[in-house]
Amino acid sequence: MAPRSRQRRQKKPPSVTPVVGAPPTVETPMPLTLTTPDPSIDALGFFSLDNNVPGLSSLILQKLNMKSYEEYKMVVDGGTPASGFGFRCPQEMFQRLEDTFRFCAHCRTLPSGLSNSKVLRHCKRCKNVYYCGPECQRSDWPAHRRVCRELCHVAVDRLMEWLLVTGDFVLPSGPWPCPADVVQDWDVWFSMRGLQLEATLDAVLSSHAMSILWASVGRPRPDPDVLRGSLKRLLTDTLSRPLTLGLGLRALGISTGKTEGSTVHVVGASHVETFLTHSEDYNELGYMFPGHCGFHVIMVGVDVATSFLQSTATSTPVPGTIHISGHRGLYHDFWEEQVETGKTAHPDMVVAFHPGFHASPTLMEAWLPTLLLLRDYKIPTLLTIYSHQELAASLQILVNLDTHIIAYGANPFASLKPEQVYSNPNKQPVYCSAYYIIFHGSSCQLDEKQLEEKIDGGD
């Protein structure tokens, strides 16, 4: 008999202490109970901005002409807010977006707290962080100097991303000209794409869209080499997810040649994975497995964009194609309602991009039933992590849950685009999917009969 959902059967949930930042040392276990049915990582992240810069969330809404977070969320979902959201021209849009970064990086003062908001000036090197005066900038320099170079990339990348939104930057695509097992990292991938990649970058650099972009942002256009580097970083940011997914399939030895195709569930999905995402974005996964019999990638999470919601019903995919669909909700509920009833295919692998359960008791409470389900049903699972500290904290939690960790380390297909902490701009930038963890089943290695006896006995 297959193990039942741990949410129904467990009488005494294990005690886990989530740790933020540093590697965990569990001394006083904290009992976890599901007090919040569907915490939104998007909402938690948005309002956590005020922890470092009080009032920053309100400033962002104001500059975007929005009255509430609900309107902000509606736009992320692809809807149209009721208020006067919108901009009269590209220049106004870019100016207002830049204004959301305008606060003193040292004393955290917003423009509304200054007698003259025009005194805020950005660092001349990175053009990324602002200061309310020379004294704050001098005091902040020891911290800022460590990240100034990386923040130069951040300042350019956040403007160049607009070309992805408008569709003016179309990624190079097509079958791989060399065997997939040779493509072990980005260096090989760039070399493999070679002339095709260079032609793509040249076309974007000389495009009308590029000229309009830099005529609208109110800053001098950077040198071509700087722009070329930014386009490459944005490319890796988009392709990191499908290639990391492929990395997991290969590491776990999962066959993609089954006649019924392969199914991958992406759990904890939010607007990051679903907003403006199309099936074509995962074409590189198909090229990684030539001759595959079709992929169905199902995104499941409480923050899946409305425009992404589609039927997840089981169907045999067309060989050589990739179908992506979305479902809004918690994964353990999705499992009971869709997978156990046979409406949706059992996954060959589950992936969670930056689950973040180490960082917040609220998130850990919501993730606990899913982690136990993945463990007890022995579903091959891959998680990605932002930093080495988060890796250590996440590993400790998974060890406490008796998961069988079979691999972890640096991801060769991590995004090369640095991510700045919005409300703490001088914190060391991180990179999406920088590390990975793969686990499969329980470290206890009980057979199913022993597992049922252990569960029914309330141990």
What pLDDT band is residue 41 in, cutting at 50, 70 and 90?
A: low
* CA–CA separation, 244 and 413 (whole Å): 6
How many angstroms from the chain centroid is the CA of residue 114? Answer: 35
Residue that wins the pLDDT comparison between 262 and 43: 262
In 3-state terms the chain splits into helix, strand, coil percentages (rounded to 5) of 45, 10, 45
What pLDDT band is residue 16 in, cutting at 50, 70 and 90?
A: very low
* CA–CA separation, 312 and 9 (whole Å): 27
Q: Which of 33-42, 273-282, 323-332 has the lowest mean pLDDT?
A: 33-42
Residue 149 burial (10 A CB sphere; 0-12, 13-18, 19+):
exposed
Residue 136: closest CA among 114, 162, 168, 169 = 114
Cβ 71 vs Cβ 136: under 8 Å: no
Cβ 186 vs Cβ 237: under 8 Å: no
Q: Is 108 left (phi over 0), alpha (psi -120 to 50) or beta?
A: left
Cβ 173 vs Cβ 284: under 8 Å: yes
pLDDT over threshold 50, residue 15:
no
pLDDT of 38 reads: 52
C-alpha neighbours within 13 Å on the C-beta side of residue 290: 8
Residue that wins the pLDDT comparison between 29 and 416: 416
- Averaged pLDDT, 179-192: 94
* CA–CA separation, 36 and 226 (whole Å): 45
Q: Which helix (H) or strand (E) holds 430?
A: strand 430-431
Q: What are phi and psi of 59, to 5 degrees?
A: -60, -45
pLDDT over threshold 60, residue 457:
no
Residue that wins the pLDDT comparison between 454 and 225: 225
pLDDT in tens, 228-241: 999 999 999 999 99
Q: 298: which 2 tokens?
A: 């199902």
- Which residues, 6 or more positions from 333, have their beta carbon under 8 angstroms from its beta carbon? none
Residue 298 burial (10 A CB sphere; 0-12, 13-18, 19+):
buried
* CA–CA separation, 16 and 13 (whole Å): 9
Q: Classify 315 as helix, strand or coil.
A: coil
What pLDDT band is residue 404 in, cutting at 50, 70 and 90?
A: very high
Q: 370: which 2 tokens?
A: 């899913």
Q: 95: which 2 tokens?
A: 């100016």
pLDDT in tens, 188-217: 999 999 999 999 999 999 999 999 999 999
What is the reported pTM? 0.82
* CA–CA separation, 163 and 213 (whole Å): 8
Cβ 400 vs Cβ 457: under 8 Å: no
Residue 233: closest CA among 145, 316, 310, 164 = 164
pLDDT of 17 reads: 29
Query: How many CB atoms are located within 10 Å of the residue 449 CB?
Result: 9
pLDDT over threshold 60, residue 295:
yes
Residue that wins the pLDDT comparison between 10 and 199: 199
Residue that wins the pLDDT comparison between 103 and 38: 103
What pLDDT band is residue 451 in, cutting at 50, 70 and 90?
A: very low
pLDDT in tens, 84-93: 556 778 888 8
pLDDT in tens, 353-390: 999 899 888 889 889 999 999 999 999 999 999 999 99
How many angstroms from the chain centroid is the CA of residue 183? Answer: 23
Cβ 46 vs Cβ 57: under 8 Å: yes
What rounded mean pLDDT belongs to the chain? Answer: 83
Query: Which spans in 175-322 are helix H?
Result: 186-205, 208-216, 224-251, 271-274, 283-288
Q: Which helix (H) or strand (E) holds 62?
A: helix 56-63
Cβ 284 vs Cβ 367: under 8 Å: no
- Which residues are paired to 408 by β-bridges? 437
pLDDT over threshold 90, residue 39:
no
How many angstroms from the chain centroid is the CA of residue 7? Answer: 26
Residue 170: closest CA among 245, 278, 97 = 278
* CA–CA separation, 64 and 131 (whole Å): 22
Q: Nearest 5°: CA angle at 420, between 430 and 21?
A: 50
